[in-house]
């Protein structure tokens, strides 16, 4: 069964738009996470960025205390974030690239170019009993290096597929890249997640990609929830995901 991890970052983005610098505010991303769980989500994803632009330290602590499903902490490979993760003990860490000027995470992690520091970071996290994923583009070299540095999962960046979705020829090319990437990862013993830019319009086309374990979806769910409510938005996505071939 294909699992749904709901990224709640943009619930915190909305809160910070008015309540930045205050001890509390609305909407509460932890409350949103619990609503998503009650609606059937299999896990919660939150990105604790170095600049704390949306999710805050207190949010991830409350998430760890409150949710009953799988907590996926997205983070940069820095000493500060590794220390936080080891203290927090999420179920899984997804290591992502991070640039201060970007609005959201754009592009995949350069595992090939950062293999040595990543190897040490991953070893420390795995020693603490935390599973490791790396957020990468569907590139064979990045997948092979992900296996070498000790990741257990890859999360395929589906942004290029989402951007090309309405251009048939480009979409087919991006789809083939994702299919080949998932097949290579599977041969190397890596588990395959995917995320970025996924929504109810493009999701069914992604089901051509084999071996996927979990989709991490945030922006489209939070956007849809403004119109229909968060439980309905989550259930709609789960209903679509039931058609993924097992």
Structure-token pair, residue 21 = 């610098």
Q: Which residue among the candidates 37, 42, 54, 74 is catalytic per the annotation?
A: 74
Distance CA 49, CA 45 (A): 13
Structure-token pair, residue 25 = 């505010």
Q: Is 166 a catalytic residue?
A: no
Q: Which residue among the candidates 10, 42, 47, 54 is catalytic per the annotation?
A: 47
For residue 133, list its beta bridge partners: 94, 153
Q: Is 74 a catalytic residue?
A: yes
Distance CA 30, CA 61 (A): 10
Q: Which residues contact 92 (CB under 8 A, 6 or more apart)?
A: 70, 71, 72, 73, 130, 131, 132, 133, 153
Q: Is 54 a catalytic residue?
A: no
Q: Which residue among the candidates 42, 174, 196, 214 is catalytic per the annotation?
A: 196
Give catalytic residue positions.
47, 74, 196
């Amino acid at each position: 069964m294909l699992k749904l991890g709901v990224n709640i970052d943009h619930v915190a983005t909305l809160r910070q738009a008015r309540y930045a610098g205050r001890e509390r505010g609305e909407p509460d991303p932890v409350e949103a996470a619990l609503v998503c769980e009650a609606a059937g989500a299999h896990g919660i994803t939150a990105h604790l960025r170095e600049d704390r632009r949306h999710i805050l330290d207190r949010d991830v602590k409350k998430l760890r205390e409150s949710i009953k499903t799988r907590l996926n902490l997205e983070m940069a490979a820095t000493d500060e974030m590794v220390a936080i993760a080891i203290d927090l003990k999420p179920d899984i860490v997804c290591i992502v690239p991070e640039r201060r000027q970007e609005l959201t995470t754009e592009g995949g992690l350069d595992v090939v170019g950062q293999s040595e520091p990543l190897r040490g970071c991953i070893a420390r996290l795995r020693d603490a009993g935390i599973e490791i994923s790396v957020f990468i583009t569907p590139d064979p070299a990045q997948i092979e290096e992900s296996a070498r540095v000790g990741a257990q999962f890859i999360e395929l960046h589906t942004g290029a597929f989402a951007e090309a979705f309405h251009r048939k020829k480009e979409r087919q090319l991006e789809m083939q890249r994702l299919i080949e990437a998932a097949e290579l990862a599977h041969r190397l013993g890596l588990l395959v997640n995917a995320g970025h830019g996924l929504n109810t319009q493009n999701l069914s086309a992604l089901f051509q990609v084999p071996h996927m374990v979990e989709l991490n979806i945030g922006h489209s769910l939070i956007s849809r929830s403004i119109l229909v409510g968060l439980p309905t938005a989550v259930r709609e996505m789960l209903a679509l995901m039931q058609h993924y071939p097992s």
